[in-house]
Copies of this chain bind each other. A is one copy, B any other.
Amino acid sequence: MHNMPQPHDHQHCIDDAMARARELCLRRQVKFTRIREQVLACVWANHQPVGAYTILEEIAKESDRRPAPPTVYRALDFLLDNGLVHRIASLNAFVGCKDPSHHHQGHFLICRQCRNVIELDADIINSAISTAATQYGFVVETPCVEVVGCCAGCRELSDNE
């Protein structure tokens, strides 16, 4: 298995994410219900974007009851609203957000090969977009940047062939 962005203790990613989510929901006085927790756990199973219906299947497997699509989508909406996950428009899929405490859109590097996603929020990209947009009198509200390419790990593997 080499589907991690860089080798790392992913259980730590999961634990962190779930802890942050619990804390954040407490602080905001919103409810981190069972289904929301399950969906978030699914999304954090790895660093690859996961589709709504895959989440549905996963939950069906692990809990012997199959939630209907609206249930999953509502949980996803909640998580999106609270910045706990991001939606990757070009993939119709969702990834966990590594920093849900402050609202941001994020930029995503998607490896074509291992499908892992690296989330950034690079000022340099936001500035460049604003600068270019300004030349057209356009005011940026929500930039969506989803970059397909090849990650460090996968290029290393290719090189060693």
A residues apposed to B, CB below 8 Å: 89-90, 107, 109, 111-112, 118, 120, 122, 124-125, 127-129, 131-133, 136-152, 155
Contacts and interface: CB of A to CB of B under 8 A. Distances in A.
Contact of A128 (B111, B122, B141): B122
Contacts of A136: 109, 118, 120, 151-152
B138 A142 contact: no
B124 A151 contact: no
A160 B90 CA distance: 36
A122 B132 contact: yes
Given A120-B136, A128-B128, A132-B124, A144 B155 contact: no
- How many monomers of this chain does the complex have? 2
Contacts of A132: 107, 120, 122, 124-125
Given A124-B128, A125-B129, A152-B136, A144 B147 contact: yes
A141 B112 contact: yes
B148 A141 contact: yes
Given A89-B90, A89-B146, A137 B151 contact: yes
Contact of A139 (B142, B144, B150): B150
